[in-house]
Chain A
Amino acid sequence: MIRLIEDSDPSAFEMLKLLYPHSGNAFIIGITGPPGVGKSTLIDALILEFRKLDIKIAVIAVDPTSPISGGAILGDRLRMQRHATDEKVFIRSMASRGQKGGLSRATKDAAIVLDAMGYEIIIIETVGAGQGEFEVATIAHSTGIINIPGTGDGIQTVKAGILETGDVFIVNKSDKPDADELVHHLTRMISMRKPFKTNLAKTNWTARVLKTIARDGTGVKELADTFLSHFDFMKKNSLLDQKRKKIEKSYFTSLLKDLILKKVLLFAETSGEYMEVLNKIQSREMDPLSAAELVVNNICVLKSNN
């Protein structure tokens, strides 16, 4: 099924329609951070903690597709192989297949499948692309951002993106020097991001900063507990509903984009007007901006006339 989604098989679209009503029960955790900070290793340790609580857990690990060959090495899984034969753990690697932000619509579709299959927690691991890839927050209920000591000064922690999306900040490899300094920077950053209104503070989740050493499991239990308590907190304060609404909206928008693009490209293939306009752009008779406007307007008008 996930395979059909990846290959954009039309039958996947139909099957998802049937599965969708059964989804919506899982707690989705996004894990993001630069390459090499230990995302996969930490998830491996997290699986162990969640399994101790007998939670059924699925992992979607996204790795980059080569823009040159279109191939990919999916290497996240190899750090989680000790769970390969546990029936209540499902691990699936996906290649980003050229989507920016490291998260394709296919990831969201796959999450729906796993959710409908009854996995209670779904962890999505993003491509370790670094700054600006916090799209995972548009799919996940809770987002964990991993950092390691020694990767830059305090300014790195206050740049846009990372500031807005993290619910849990993780300082991994915290046995390395300067770990406390990073914790300090992150904590200070979080304390500044709140609106300075005390009545909001009661119903808003304050992002946590945790220290872990994924390799030996130090701090991982606390991390698992923090994710669970974030989930509880959201449930109690009706934040979860808000989040779900947001997630559904962004999924709907991305579906619209995909479907519209498909229609437009179909139009491009079958209509002479597209070629005509393209020629005009290329001979500089028309600017591409008015041309795009014209083509889109024509498609929309066509539709409403029908």
Chain B
Amino acid sequence: MKNKKKIRVLIAKPGLDGHDKGAKIVALALRDAGMEVIYSGLHQTLEQITQTAIQETVDVIGLSIMSGAHLPISEKLINMMKEQGLDDVNLTVGGVIPHRDIPKLKEMGVAEVFPGGTSFEDIITGINKLFE
């Protein structure tokens, strides 16, 4: 009967990028790991993503980006999250992310980066680790 605190994750697809198979599959994997996953749908503006994160009180935002624009998108979103006081929300980024960009993303304040090919296990462990 004990209620363990559940991790709530928003999986979001920003911008014009129209491939969400990966995002949906990751959402399923997180569900099976006992998390509550909100999927935003395609073509979200960063304002929509931030507002959704507020209304849904999520612990993690998982951005899925295949368009190559991960650097500017992440930077903008982090600024917007700061403005809205979402300091306790972790931002993670997945999708088509070249390895050389990972340090840059982390420097901006992205908590974890899961480039294409990361196993579900690694994603789940990575997210769980944020709450240890």
Q: Which residues of A contact B (CB under 8 A)?
A: 2-3, 6-8, 65-66, 68-75, 77-79, 81, 84-85, 90-93, 95, 265
Q: Are B36 and A95 in contact (CB-based, < 8 A)? A: yes
Q: Are B31 and A72 in contact (CB-based, < 8 A)? A: yes
Q: Are B48 and A84 in contact (CB-based, < 8 A)? A: yes
Which B1-45 residues have a C-beta within 8 angstroms of A? 1, 3, 5-6, 8, 27-28, 30-41, 44-45
* B56 interfacial by beta-carbon distance below 8 Å: yes
Q: Are B32 and A66 in contact (CB-based, < 8 A)? A: yes
Which A residues are CB-close (under 8 A) to B40?
77-78, 81
Q: Are B33 and A69 in contact (CB-based, < 8 A)? A: yes
Given contacts A66-B31, A69-B33, A92-B56, contact A75 B39 (CB under 8 A): yes
Q: Are B57 and A73 in contact (CB-based, < 8 A)? A: no
Chain B interface residue count, Cβ-Cβ cutoff 8 angstroms: 28
Which A residues are CB-close (under 8 A) to B1?
265
CA distance A288 to B38 in the complex (A): 42
Given contacts A8-B3, A78-B41, A81-B41, contact A72 B52 (CB under 8 A): no
Q: Are B6 and A70 in contact (CB-based, < 8 A)? A: yes
Given contacts A2-B57, A3-B57, A90-B55, contact A74 B37 (CB under 8 A): yes
CA distance A93 to B35 in the complex (A): 13
Which B residues are CB-close (under 8 A) to A78?
39-41
Q: Shortest beta-carbon distance, A47 to chain B, in Å?
A: 13
CA distance A252 to B57 in the complex (A): 27
List 24 A–B pairs whose Cβ atoms lie within 8 Å, in order of A's numbering: A3-B57, A6-B6, A7-B6, A66-B31, A68-B32, A69-B31, A70-B6, A71-B32, A71-B34, A71-B35, A72-B35, A72-B36, A73-B27, A73-B39, A74-B36, A74-B56, A75-B38, A78-B40, A78-B41, A81-B48, A84-B51, A84-B55, A85-B51, A95-B6
**Considering the complex of A and B, which 8 residue pairs feature the smallest CB-CB distances, nearest first?**
A78-B41, A71-B31, A3-B57, A84-B48, A70-B34, A74-B38, A71-B34, A72-B36
Given contacts A84-B52, A265-B1, contact A72 B57 (CB under 8 A): no
| Residue in A81, A92, A265 with the greatest tally of chain B CB atoms within 10 Å | A81
* B47 interfacial by beta-carbon distance below 8 Å: yes
Q: Are B30 and A71 in contact (CB-based, < 8 A)? A: yes
